[in-house]
């Protein structure tokens, strides 16, 4: 007897453990720092985020901030990733530390998925309202169906205050103003508690009598029919009829209380306005490109032709959110994240102004620890060893032109 | 302890031991079902059950009953054929809901701070009660599958409507109309759940106009009948005594 008891006790313990582990199994993703683990070619050849601006470094709970800028959908989108025909402008934050109060592409609110065109540039803005205090790394992010999340640069923002003060007031079309943070909670708890109690009552009705051993004996000795009495049946009918009656009544009550309800809204949004970019008058041909593993530098030979009417200089090479600047030509004034900014990371063998009509072949080196830190160097292990990025040329007035490059990359290990 | 010796010495002691057994078995059953059912339900019903902006008139109504009638059918078969106990469905659903609530409250709200009014579980109890009562009254697996299974699918939406209706009140937001549930999904950022993976309001039931919920519920009920049969047999197989030596 004792042995059996111990066994059952052991079994119960195992069951309890299973339960706990099952309950722990699913927690919604809380981390937003996947950027480094994403394949380098994904970050280089899909969406290029630029001209970004995080409006604040510190916000109090209930205050808002924006992240705005542009993104270029790369024309040389990799074969292995689905085209951004169904994409969702997301935001990379660790859970709802902010609420997304609004997000726009080309001035259009985009609460749903959109269709993006390759080769186009779009303007975007995300409005965030601070909810949970802490230091959070906030990334721009685009989810592409069949391609996964494409994470842009991240910047640290501090939220101060107390989450208890957070309110999310919304006025419905029926004229009511509610706090979405706690709206309907009592109703949810009430109905769940109510039905749980009813379920427990049914269970209690049965388990107050001797259960397994005597009933099993009764069945094996042919007295199964005696186990469900007339009263049991009557009470059972009561439970069933009661259940149906309660469901029907509560439906009626709900219809009276909420006469206006609509179905969930879904569906792809098309025709998103892209940004009219100034015409490019500079053309670039990549003669060759190598990545020097020991030097953490990428070297490319570019033949640049200026077909415009003003002299230009190369100011920036940007790839996978890392910006390599030639400080003589361009400077960052937006407070771009330090770890992604190589202020003097770009060296051009001859960066004197390129006159209109002139063609010049130059050696361009982009070097920074970011190649390693952001695991861009892993590119050489990708199935399609190419690199891609954006080049920004500036004229004397500071006007900028954007040219994209996309070419094979040869690694050099010595 | 030799086999020839009786473990108990008196009838009173036998009764007491039997009762102790009852509680231990019930406890084990409850938590074992909780664990298995919970994992099964999360893997199959997952997001439809997690988020209010997935609880639509078409797919949630169809999927949730179909994937949740499984364990109730299996546990019913074991408890009914061996012990004539008609609480298999209710005990399974109570276990599942306890697990779901622990998960939603501790993980979704406590750990990640999604408001509970956005990530509460679906209510499955009305259907479970009906399923148990039908089995008790009919004593027939076929009838329970057909009548009970259909009822299980049909009662799901009305049983949940009082809980979700407030979240289906429309709101105008920056020039677009959406429900409060849609707005929750938009406001409370889920980095890993982009909008396009949300499977709602999809399907070919367009000819029914706005009355798609009853149609979906009927469809769900029919599939529930099949799934009930299937899982009832799983339960029967699982509660065989062939695994244990000796006579039982
Ligand atoms: Cu980060």
Assess contact for A376 and A320: CB atoms under 8 A: yes
pLDDT of residue A20: 56
Q: Tens digits of per-residue pLDDT, B199-220?
A: 877 765 555 556 788 888 999 9
* DSSP, res A269: B
* Interface-testing mutation among B112, B196, B203, with chain A (most A C-beta atoms within 10 A): B196
pLDDT at residue B3 tops 60: no
The domain spans of chain A are 45-173, 193-257, 282-412
* DSSP, res A39: -
Interface touch B200/A264, C-beta < 8 Å: yes
Q: Stretch B54-63: mean pLDDT, rounded?
A: 91
Interface touch B27/A12, C-beta < 8 Å: yes
Q: Are strands A410-412 and A386-395 parallel, antiparallel or unpaired?
A: unpaired
List chain A residues with CB under 8 Å of B173: 109, 111, 170
Assess contact for A170 and A180: CB atoms under 8 A: yes
Q: Report residue A34 as tokens.
A: 């996947």
Q: Which H or E run contains A290?
A: strand A282-292
Distances (CA, A) of A409 to A49, A72, A297, A405, A406: 22, 21, 12, 12, 9
List chain B residues with CB under 8 Å of A250: 161-162
List chain B residues with CB under 8 Å of A219: 82-84
pLDDT at residue A2 tops 60: no
Among the partner residues A95, A100, A188, nearest to B187 by beta-carbon distance: A100
Report the top-level CATH class of A282-412.
Answer: mainly beta
Q: Report residue B86 as tokens.
A: 């008609």
List chain A residues with CB under 8 Å of B82: 216, 219
Nearest residue of A to residue B199, measured between CA atoms: A266
Q: Tens digits of per-residue pLDDT, A137-178?
A: 999 999 999 888 888 889 999 999 999 999 999 999 999 999
Q: Is the dihedral of CA A276, A277, A278, A283 positive or negative?
A: negative
Helix, strand or coil for residue A379? helix
Assess contact for A83 and A118: CB atoms under 8 A: yes
Q: Tens digits of per-residue pLDDT, B171-181?
A: 999 888 999 99
Q: Stretch B16-23: mean pLDDT, rounded?
A: 89
Q: Tens digits of per-residue pLDDT, B78-110?
A: 999 889 999 999 999 999 999 999 999 999 999
Whether ipTM > 0.90 holds is: yes
Report the top-level CATH class of A45-173.
Answer: mainly beta
Quote the CA–CA distance of B110 and A31 in Å, as a whole number: 15
Q: Stretch A376-397: mean pLDDT, rounded?
A: 82
Assess contact for A96 and A72: CB atoms under 8 A: no
pLDDT at residue B24 tops 60: yes
Q: Does B238 touch chain A (CB under 8 A)?
A: no
pLDDT of residue A376: 77
Interface touch B21/A212, C-beta < 8 Å: yes
Interface touch B175/A109, C-beta < 8 Å: yes
Helices (H) and strands (E) in chain B, counts: 11, 2
Assess contact for A233 and B138: CB atoms under 8 A: no
Q: Tens digits of per-residue pLDDT, A6-52?
A: 665 666 666 666 655 555 544 444 344 556 667 777 788 889 999 99
Q: Stretch A78-103: mean pLDDT, rounded?
A: 91
Q: Tens digits of per-residue pLDDT, B120-149?
A: 999 999 999 999 999 999 999 999 999 999
| B201-234 exposure pattern, b = at least 16 Cβ within 10 A, e = fewer | bebebeeeeeebbebbbebbbebbbebbbebbeb
Assess contact for A40 and A61: CB atoms under 8 A: no
The domains of chain B, with CATH numbers, are 36-236 (1.20.1450.10)
C-alpha of residue A334 to centroid of ligand 1, in Å: 18
Nearest to A97 by CA among A184, A156, A35, A38: A156
CATH code that applies to domain A193-257? 1.10.287.710
Q: Stretch A45-74: mean pLDDT, rounded?
A: 93
| B131-152 exposure pattern, b = at least 16 Cβ within 10 A, e = fewer | bbbbbbbebebeebbbbbbbbb
pLDDT of residue A29: 43
Quote the CA–CA distance of B126 and B89 in Å, as a whole number: 10
Q: How many contacts (CB atoms, under 8 Å) link A and B?
A: 341
Quote the CA–CA distance of B49 and B193 in Å, as a whole number: 14
C-alpha of residue A152 to centroid of ligand 1, in Å: 9
For tokens 């969406």, name the residue: A47
What is the four-CA torsion angle of A16, A21, A25, A27, rounded to 10 degrees? Answer: 90
pLDDT of residue B240: 76
Share of chain A above pLDDT 90, in %: 51
pLDDT at residue A1 tops 60: no
Give the pTM.
0.86
Lowest mean pLDDT among A23-37, A263-277, B6-20, B114-128: A23-37
The residues whose Cβ lies within 5 A of ligand 1, an ion, are A 33, 137, 154
Q: Does B110 touch chain A (CB under 8 A)?
A: no
Q: Report residue A400 as tokens.
A: 């900028």
pLDDT, mean over chain A:
87
Quote the CA–CA distance of A5 and A374 in Å, as a whole number: 58
C-alpha of residue A336 to centroid of ligand 1, in Å: 14
Q: Tens digits of per-residue pLDDT, A175-229?
A: 999 999 999 999 999 999 999 999 999 999 999 988 888 898 888 888 888 888 9
List chain A residues with CB under 8 Å of B187: 96, 99-101, 168, 180
List chain B residues with CB under 8 Å of A12: 24, 27-28, 31
List chain A residues with CB under 8 Å of B106: 23
Q: Stretch A240-263: mean pLDDT, rounded?
A: 94
Residue bearing the bigger pLDDT, A331 or A22: A331
Interface touch A96/B126, C-beta < 8 Å: no
């Amino acid at each position: 007897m004792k042995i059996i008891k111990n066994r059952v006790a052991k079994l119960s313990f195992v069951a309890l453990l299973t339960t706990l582990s099952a309950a722990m199994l699913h927690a919604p993703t809380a981390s937003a720092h996947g950027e480094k683990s994403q394949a380098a070619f994904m970050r280089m050849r899909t969406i290029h985020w630029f001209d970004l601006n995080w409006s604040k470094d510190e916000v109090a709970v209930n205050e808002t901030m924006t992240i705005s800028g542009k993104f270029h959908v790369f024309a040389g989108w990799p074969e292995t990733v689905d085209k951004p025909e169904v994409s969702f402008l997301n935001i990379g934050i660790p859970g709802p530390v902010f609420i997304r109060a609004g997000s726009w592409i080309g001035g259009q609110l985009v609460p749903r998925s959109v269709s993006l065109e390759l080769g186009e540039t779009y303007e975007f803005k995300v409005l965030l309202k601070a909810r949970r205090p802490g230091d959070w790394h906030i990334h721009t992010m685009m989810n592409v169906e069949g391609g996964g999340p494409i994470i842009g640069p991240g910047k640290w923002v501090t939220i101060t205050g107390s989450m208890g003060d957070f309110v999310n007031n919304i006025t419905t079309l029926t004229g009511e103003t509610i706090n979405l943070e706690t709206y309907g909670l009592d109703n949810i708890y009430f109905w769940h508690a109510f039905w749980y109690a009813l379920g427990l009552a049914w269970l209690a009705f049965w388990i107050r009598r001797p259960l397994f051993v005597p009933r099993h004996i009764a069945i094996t000795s042919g007295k199964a029919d005696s186990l469900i009495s007339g009263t049991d049946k009557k009470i059972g009918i009561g439970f069933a009829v009661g259940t149906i009656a309660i469901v029907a009544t509560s439906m009626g009550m709900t219809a009276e209380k909420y006469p206006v309800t609509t179905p969930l809204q879904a569906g792809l949004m098309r025709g998103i306005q892209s940004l009219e970019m100034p015409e490019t008058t500079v053309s670039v041909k990549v003669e060759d490109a190598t990545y020097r593993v020991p030097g953490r530098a990428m070297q490319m030979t570019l033949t640049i032709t200026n077909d415009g009417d003003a002299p230009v200089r190369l100011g920036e090479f940007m790839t996978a959110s890392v910006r390599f600047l030639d400080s003589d030509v361009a400077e960052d004034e937006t407070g771009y994240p330090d770890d992604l900014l190589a202020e003097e990371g770009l060296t051009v063998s001859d960066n004197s102004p390129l006159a209109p009509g002139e063609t010049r072949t130059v050696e361009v080196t982009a070097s920074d620890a970011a190649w390693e830190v952001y695991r861009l160097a892993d590119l050489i292990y990708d199935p399609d060893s190419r690199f891609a990025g954006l080049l920004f040329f500036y004229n004397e007035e500071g006007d900028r032109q954007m040219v994209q490059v996309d070419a094979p990359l040869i690694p050099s290990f010595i | 302890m030799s086999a020839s010796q009786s473990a108990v010495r008196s009838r009173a002691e036998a009764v007491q031991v039997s009762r102790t057994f009852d509680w231990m078995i019930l406890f084990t059953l409850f938590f074992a079902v909780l664990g298995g059912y919970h994992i099964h339900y999360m893997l199959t019903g997952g997001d439809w059950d997690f988020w209010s902006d997935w609880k639509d008139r078409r797919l949630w109504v169809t999927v949730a009953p179909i994937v949740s009638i499984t364990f109730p059918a299996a546990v019913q078969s074991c408890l009914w054929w061996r012990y004539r106990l008609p609480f298999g469905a209710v005990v399974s659903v109570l276990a599942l809901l306890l697990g779901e609530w622990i998960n939603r409250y501790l993980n979704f709200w406590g750990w990640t701070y999604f408001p509970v009014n956005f990530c509460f579980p679906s209510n499955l109890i009305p259907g479970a009660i009906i399923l148990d009562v039908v089995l008790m009254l009919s004593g027939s697996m076929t009838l329970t599958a057909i009548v009970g299974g259909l009822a299980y699918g049909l009662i799901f939406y009305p049983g949940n409507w009082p809980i979700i209706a407030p979240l289906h009140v429309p709101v105008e937001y920056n020039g677009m109309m959406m429900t409060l549930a849609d707005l929750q999904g938009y406001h409370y950022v889920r980095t890993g759940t982009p909008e396009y993976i949300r499977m709602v309001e999809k399907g070919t039931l367009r000819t029914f106009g706005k009355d798609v919920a009853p149609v979906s519920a009927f469809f769900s009920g029919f599939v529930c009948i099949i799934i009930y049969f299937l899982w009832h047999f799983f339960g029967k197989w699982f509660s065989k005594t062939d695994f244990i030596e000796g006579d039982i």
